[in-house]
Each structure stands twice: as C-alpha cells, then as structure tokens.
C-alpha cells in the first residue's frame, strides 16, 4: 500500500512535517509512506492558469496523489483555519474543474495536525472537513490532534507517547484504506 502525506507547513523545523516523518517511521510492514511539502507552488491566479496552464509542481503533486491508495494532510492551524499554502494547493489541484473528481473523488483521506497550543489544530481540522467533503474525498473519521508539540518533539525526534499515538492512529487509517 502506498500512502502520501502532505505537510501544510513550509517551515524547515515544522512540527507538522516532523509529525509526517513520524508517520513514515511508524508505517506498518507493506505500507510505503511518502512525505511531501508544498514548496514551489505559486499562488492560484486565474490569469496564470490561462496563460501558462497548471504549474509543474501542482501536476507533480497530483500525480503522486493519484498514484497513492490514501492521502494524509498534516496541517498547522493558523487563526483557527488551515494555512493559506495548503488551501492554495487544494485549490490548484481542483483545476481544471474536470480534474477534481479523478484527483479527490472517493480518495481515502485523513487529516492530522500539530500545534504548540492546547487544542491540537481542532479548529483547522474541522474547517478542512468542509473543503475535503466538497472535493469528494472519503474521510477517515479518526482524529490525530497533537497539542503542546514543543513538549513532545525534541532534537532526537519525539517521545514514546507521541510515537505510540501516531502508530495507533496510522494503523487505523491503514485498515480504513484497506
């Protein structure tokens, strides 16, 4: 099984990209989990789409998503929503309109997130559900909300409790995809 994890943060030391890395370390036997970031995707602009078409970075990401059995979005929370870079990528991926269904329709999708704050990106994840439902994704009902991330990640990686939490959650998503 092939899973793709997209981090919604561009930051080098991002907790969310590190959470995605933990998922890849926790991947069960027979599951290949690839971690991607959204670097290189320009801001959506209808004029740019008309003059130059879909950017190569978007087509590349689309190809990876289509080739995967399941998609995991690991998102920071910015002002109680998902970051613009993630929403922007989702918007590009639904262009041209006829690409929305083959990219997202029935796609087994999970949302996860990490924050140094107390609520584990709950608001961003709740908001993302509306977007992903609109795109036609088949949503995994299990939550992975990592709060107080600075206490759980360190220079060596993450504490055992978080590793266990990630492994259990991922096991659930793998069963859902199967």
What single string gives the DSSP state of each residue in 108-174? EEEEEEE-SSSSTTHHHHHHHHHHHHHHT-EE----EEE-SHHHHEETTEE-HHHHHHHHHHHHHHH
Minimum distance from CB of 87 to ligand FNR (Å)? Answer: 13
Q: Is 9 in the site for ligand FNR (CB under 6 A)?
A: yes
Query: Are 102 and 66 a contacting pair, CB within 8 Å?
Result: yes
Q: Is 115 in the site for ligand FNR (CB under 6 A)?
A: yes
Minimum distance from CB of 26 to ligand FNR (Å)? Answer: 18
Minimum distance from CB of 105 to ligand FNR (Å)? Answer: 28
172-to-35, 58, 169 alpha-carbon distances in Å: 19, 29, 5
Among 51, 79, 154, 155, binds ligand FNR (CB under 6 A): 79
Q: State whether residue 62 is helix, strand or coil.
A: helix
Task: Compose the 124-163 pattern: x for residues touching ligand FNR by CB under 6 A, - for all others.
Answer: ----------------------------------------
Q: Which stretch binds ligand FNR (CB under 6 A): 25-33, 99-107, 114-122, 137-145?
A: 114-122
Token representation of residue 12: 């080098």
**With CB under 6 A, what is the number of residues at the site for ligand FNR?**
14
Among 11, 101, 148, 178, binds ligand FNR (CB under 6 A): 11
Please tell me what DSSP assigns to residue 81.
Answer: B
Rounded CA gap, 17 and 9, in Å?
7
Note the residues at the interface with ligand FNR (CB under 6 A).
Answer: 9, 11, 14-16, 76-80, 115-117, 119
């Amino acid at each position: 099984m092939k899973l793709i994890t997209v981090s919604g943060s561009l930051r080098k030391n991002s907790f969310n990209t590190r959470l995605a890395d933990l998922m890849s370390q926790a991947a069960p036997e027979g599951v290949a989990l690839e971690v991607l970031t959204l670097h290189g995707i320009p801001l959506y602009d209808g004029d740019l789409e008309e003059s130059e078409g879909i950017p190569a970075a978007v087509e590349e990401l689309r190809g990876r998503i289509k080739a995967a059995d399941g998609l995991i979005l690991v998102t920071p929370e910015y002002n109680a929503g998902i970051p613009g870079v993630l929403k922007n990528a989702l918007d590009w991926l639904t262009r041209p309109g006829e690409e929305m269904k083959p990219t997202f329709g029935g796609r087994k999708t999970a949302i996860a997130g990490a924050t140094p704050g107390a609520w584990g990106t709950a608001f961003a994840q709740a908001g993302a559900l509306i977007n992903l439902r609109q795109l036609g994704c088949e949503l995994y009902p299990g939550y992975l909300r990592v709060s107080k991330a600075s206490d759980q990640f360190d220079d060596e990686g993450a504490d055992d409790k978080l590793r266990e939490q990630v492994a259990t959650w991922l096991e659930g998503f793998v069963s859902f995809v199967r």
